Amino acid sequence: MENTYKLTFVHCEGDVQYVSTNMNPDQFELLLAYITFEGEDVNQYYPLIALDFAEQLLPLYGCKKTTDVDWNEDDDDFDIDLHYNRERYCGRAYEIQAMKKFHHPELKNVLTKVFEKIEDEQKKY
């Protein structure tokens, strides 16, 4: 069964993305934490926002960005703030990063490209 998740980032108001996947909430939160921690290994200065996840990172894992959403605000299990998700799992970072089911041969390359784009955007200011 496919689930739709609402991704936000508390420090980036207006960054709301919807992603569909067959993962249950626990699996999906762990995947988000895994990608976040791997991202911090690549670049610890810039956080990944929901748009980065929805468009570039989660498709590596079969997730699809969607805009066709009839969102129910009462469904807390499917509403995930990336900052709070990171904080929830930070004590288990090494354990989560060791989970082989989330290893993807292209993840580091995609993360590097995402951070290069972020750095290029920052140079404009």
Please enumerate, as own/partner, the contacts of 52-58 that have beta carbons within 8 Å and a separation of 24 or more.
52/114, 53/7, 53/17, 53/19, 53/82, 54/7, 54/17, 54/18, 54/19, 55/17, 56/110, 56/113, 56/114, 57/107, 57/110, 57/111, 57/114, 58/19, 58/21, 58/31
pLDDT digits (tens, 9 = 90+) for 64-111: 999 878 777 766 669 999 999 999 999 999 999 999 999 999 999 999
Model pLDDT, residue 122: 80
Whether pTM > 0.75 for this model: the answer is: yes
Model pLDDT, residue 82: 94
The pLDDT-based confidence of 24 (bands split at 50, 70, 90) is: very high
What DSSP designation does 103 have? -
Residue 124 has pLDDT above 90, yes or no: no
